[in-house]
Amino acid sequence: MELKQAFGKALKARRLECGLTQEDFSDVSSRTYLSTLERGQKCPTLEKVVELASVLQVHPLTLIAESFLVLEPNQTLEVLLGVVQREARSV
């Protein structure tokens, strides 16, 4: 699975979990574009990830982390965040 497909699955899962429709994103995206993202046909820009996250009322890193958890289903959130925390501290 490619990262853009994993992002699409994570985005759709979070949207459904929040009880939102694709039309609820109309202030930041067309329904058609959101559909192409959810189907993994396009990869969003960083700015678009921020806008989508704002509609979902989550931090953009949440969507990105959830995408990597879809991509690597054997990895736990705790392990993934531990890697990020160690790497961020080394900068």
The tokens for 49 are: 């990830």
Q: Other C-beta atoms within 10 Å of 6: how many?
A: 19
**In Å, how far are 26, 75, 78 from 48, measured between CA atoms?**
13, 26, 26
The whole-number pLDDT of residue 65 equals 95
If pLDDT is split at 50, 70 and 90, which confidence band does 90 have?
confident
Instruction: Give the list of residues 6+ apart from residue 22 with CB closer than 8 angstroms, or none.
Output: 15, 31, 34, 35, 38
Give the per-residue pLDDT at 1: 83
What's the whole-number mean pLDDT along residues 3-11?
A: 97
Q: What is the pLDDT of residue 35?
A: 97
Q: What domains can you pick out in the chain, each with its CATH number?
A: 3-89 (1.10.260.40)
pLDDT at 91 over 80: no
Over residues 28-53, the pLDDT tens digits come to 999 999 999 999 999 999 999 999 99
